[in-house]
Structures are given as C-alpha cells and as structure tokens.
C-alpha cells in the first residue's frame, strides 16, 4: 500500500483531512513548580535531580520565556510537575502567551475557569488504591482524589480524567469509570511506566494482557465516556515499550541528528526556567518500559511512515491520532474508531 | 524548460499536494518557494506535513527512503541533488 492509495478510501481520506488540520501543533514541556501535595508511587517527576531547583514564580519571567518559545515556533505547551495548580499566576501568564496546551494536575485545587487549557486530572485507583499509591508529601496515606476532583470540576469542559493502570489496580477502574460517567465527564487511559532506578512494585510487565482486556471492555461498556481506541490499547500494552515498537523522536533518544521534527524543537523546562538538551516529556522514565500516554502521543503520531503498509495499520494510526487530539485539544471531538481488533 | 527545471517543478507539485488541507497559507508558501529554501527554517513546514511530502516523494520517484534520510532532504535543491545522484542519501 501507499499513502495516496490509502487516501483513495473515502472514510480514511475524511479522517485524515480532519486530523491534518492539527499538524501545526508543535509542543514543549514546562515544569512550572517543584512543589506537590502528594508523592505518588513511581512518580517520574521526583526521580533524578530535576526537582532540586529553586522555583521561579515570577509571572513576567514565565511570560518572557513563553514569548521566546512562541518565537521559536512552539504552538502548544504542556504544563506539568510537580503540581501546576499551586502556581496560578504562572499558569495565567502562560495562557496569555500561548493559549493552546494542557495542564497535568492532581485536581485537588481548582484551576481558574478562564484559563482555557485542557486539564488532565490524574486518577491512580479507586477508594482503596488511590490513598495507597498516592501519599501526602509527609508520608501519610493520601486522599481518595476522585471525589475531590469531581467536586472541584463539576461541569467543567476543560477536564479529561486520566486513569493510570498499574500492575495492581486493573479492576479498580470499574469504580472510577462509573463515577466519571455519572458525573458526565470523560476519561482516557495511561499505563504505569517505571522510572529508572525506581523500586516501585507497580510495574505492569505481568499484567499487560489483563490491562488490554480491561481497556477494550471499558470502551465497549462506556462508549460515550471513554476516549480511547483499540489500537491505542494494543500499542500501549505491547510487551515491547513504545520506543521498542516505533523508535522515539524526543531529543533524549533522537537517532536522526536532531534535525527533524520533535528532535529539533522539543524542550523540557524545569521550574527554574533551565532546560536539559537530553529531554523528553517523561524524563527519568525507563525507555525500555515507557508506555506513557503522553510520550505515545508523540511517538506513535510521528511514525505515520510505519503505518501505511496495510490498510489496517493506517486505520489504527488514524484512530490513534484522532484519540490523541481529543485528549489534548480542547473542543476537538473524536470520531468513531476505524480500526478493527485482530 | 531544462530537464532539471521540470524535475524541480515536479518536486514542488508533490509538496503542494502534500500541503493541501494543512493549516498553512498555501498561496503564501508558493510565493516564497525557492529551490534553496529550507523546508523548516525558511518555509516553516511542520514535521507531519513534511512526512506526508516525503511519503509522496518516495512513491513518485520510487526512492525507497528511510526515516533517517529525511533530515538531509531539507530543500528542493537537496532533493534534486539526491535524485540526480540516482540513490537516496543512505
């Protein structure tokens, strides 16, 4: 098959035309603070030394940085760890400068409604699991975050919940799905990806098949609530990591001389506004275990060339990109999945 | 028109086909089209638009390109040089 042959199929052409309008998204990532109320088991942010910085909380410094980023061609910002909701003035300065982006938050503190970024609210388990996997910074068991998140973000169209499957919480998603659907929200999936040098027992290597089955079941049972695709489930629960399946375009792993695509433009800034040249969106994650939804959004999407050999593969890629855009772009609506499970 | 000009025009036409439906202003891009214009630094093309272009180019000229070839194919001039050498860059 070839791309032009595949685009002669009307439903594939239609979907490709839909997603192509968003090829202009060019992202970088920004740790806007090194502070968080929680310490989650296996959190990559608190691995390595990137959290050992002095936060720059001056909104004007952030505005200046993002103006520079905009001039550099960045059109989309990922505002992340530790906990961005703790620095509302920084978020506002970022939003006023580059208005497209996502904030990754634990949802315990509400982000001002006029900051119209996509909000990814992390969920680690049900009422039994969440307090175990996520502790307060002092070490006490953490709160069950979901009820607080639902209270803070009732009827908030910026929100999508992100349930991270780990090696111990597969069935806990049932309670979460029910509560998210009852609240009229949407949810997508992440797969726990172990940081380098970390001793977490939440690894997924022995539960990948069960996670994939649960994802498929969730898509069938909650079609209006779950934003995901069968192809996404397949590639994120493959025995091979995302990098193993597709290579990786981030500067940390770039194999093409940093001259093309994300390898050329992506940066991950720390809370003191410095950045590492060896960055990716999930730094300190073990690349051999990386199944993270954020990295997949770049890794799989950037490899259209690997998905044009068969019609099924191209259908899977289109579903993946359509899903990625629905998760990351506020107001983008996902279409029906085109890829049939084999 | 010289043979090389015909080849240049063919490459540009493949690029314009690839850019159909993108967020770029096609008329403005065409106005700044020069064979030595860098696709990213001068024309501001995005990597997925470029990827579609390389896939179409590969198909049209039967080049059998690999992803590692793309960075070197950074302008129409570079692509013409590649075609004239008779092989892809790797």
Look at residue B1 in the predicted model and tell me its pLDDT.
Answer: 43
Scanning every residue of chain A, which has its alpha carbon at the shortest distance from the alpha carbon of B22? A21
Give the distance from residue B62's alpha carbon to the nearest chain A alpha carbon, in angstroms.
Answer: 11
Contact B59 A3 (CB under 8 A): yes
**Domain parsing of chain B, residue ranges:** 3-19+26-85
Mutate to test the interface with A, among B21, B45, B90 (most CBs of A within 10 A): B21
Strand A76-80, strand A101-105: pairing: parallel
Using a CB-CB cut-off of 8 Å, the residues of chain A touching B29 are: none
Would you give the end-to-end CA distance of chain B in angstroms?
30
Q: Could A304 and B55 be called an inter-chain contact, meaning their C-beta atoms sit closer than 8 Å?
A: yes
Could you tell me if A21 and B22 are in contact, meaning their C-beta atoms sit under 8 angstroms apart?
yes
- Show residues of chain A in contact with B67, CB under 8 Å: 247, 256, 303, 305
Q: How far is CA A271 from the centre of its chain?
A: 19
Contact A4 B56 (CB under 8 A): yes
Give the pTM. Answer: 0.94
CATH superfamily of B3-19+26-85: ACP-like (1.10.1200.10)
User: Using alpha carbons only, what angle is made at residue A188 by residues A184 and A191, rounded to the nearest 5 degrees?
Assistant: 150
Output the tens digit of pLDDT for each of chain A's 342 residues: 999 999 999 999 999 999 999 999 999 999 999 999 999 888 888 888 888 999 999 999 999 999 999 999 999 999 998 999 999 999 999 999 999 999 999 999 999 999 999 999 999 999 999 999 999 998 999 999 999 999 999 999 999 999 999 999 999 999 999 999 999 999 999 999 988 877 788 999 899 999 999 999 999 999 999 999 999 999 999 999 999 999 888 888 765 455 667 778 889 999 999 998 778 888 888 888 899 999 999 999 999 999 999 999 999 999 999 999 999 999 999 999 999 876
What six digits make up the tokens of A195? Answer: 């940081």
Say if the Cβ atoms of B21 and A21 lie within 8 Å. Answer: yes
- pLDDT at residue A340, rounded to an integer: 86
């Amino acid at each position: 098959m070839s791309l032009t042959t595949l685009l002669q199929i009307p439903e594939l052409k239609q979907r490709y035309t839909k997603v192509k309008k968003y090829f202009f998204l060019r992202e970088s990532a920004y740790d806007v603070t090194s502070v968080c109320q929680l310490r989650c088991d296996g959190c990559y942010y608190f691995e390595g030394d990137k959290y050992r910085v002095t936060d720059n909380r001056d909104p004007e410094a952030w505005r200046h940085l993002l103006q520079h980023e905009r001039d550099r061609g960045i059109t989309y910002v990922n505002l992340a760890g530790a906990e961005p909701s703790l620095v509302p003035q920084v978020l506002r300065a970022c939003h006023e400068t580059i208005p497209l982006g996502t904030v990754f938050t634990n949802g315990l503190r509400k982000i001002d409604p006029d900051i119209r970024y996509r909000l990814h609210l992390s969920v680690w388990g049900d009422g039994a699991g969440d307090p175990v996997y996520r502790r307060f910074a002092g070490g006490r068991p953490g709160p069950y975050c979901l009820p607080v998140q639902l209270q803070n973000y009732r009827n908030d169209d910026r929100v999508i919940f992100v349930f991270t499957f780990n090696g111990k919480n597969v069935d806990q998603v049932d309670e979460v799905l029910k509560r998210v659907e009852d609240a009229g929200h949407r949810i997508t999936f992440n797969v726990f990806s172990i940081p380098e040098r970390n001793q977490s027992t939440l690894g997924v290597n022995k539960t990948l098949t069960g996670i994939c089955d649960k994802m498929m079941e969730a898509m069938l049972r909650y079609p209006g609530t779950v934003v995901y695709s069968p192809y996404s489930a397949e590639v994120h629960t493959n025995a091979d990591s995302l990098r193993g399946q597709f290579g990786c375009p981030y500067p940390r792993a770039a194999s093409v001389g940093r001259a093309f695509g994300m390898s050329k433009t992506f940066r991950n800034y720390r809370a003191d506004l410095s950045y590492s040249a060896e960055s990716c969106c999930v730094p300190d994650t073990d690349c051999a275990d990386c199944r993270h939804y954020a990295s997949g959004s770049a890794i799989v999407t950037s490899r259209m060339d690997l998905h044009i050999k068969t019609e099924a593969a191209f259908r899977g890629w289109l579903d993946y990109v359509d899903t990625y855009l629905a998760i990351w772009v506020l107001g983008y609506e996902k279409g029906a999945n085109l890829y049939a499970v084999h | 028109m010289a043979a090389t000009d015909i080849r240049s025009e063919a490459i540009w036409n493949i690029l314009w086909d690839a850019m159909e439906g993108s967020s770029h202003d096609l008329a403005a891009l065409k106005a700044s089209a020069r064979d030595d214009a860098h696709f990213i630094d001068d024309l501001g093309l995005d990597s997925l638009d470029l990827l579609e272009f390389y896939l179409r180019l590969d198909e049209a000229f039967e080049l059998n390109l690999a992803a590692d070839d793309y960075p070197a194919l950074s302008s129409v001039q570079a692509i013409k040089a590649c075609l004239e050498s008779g092989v892809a860059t790797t």
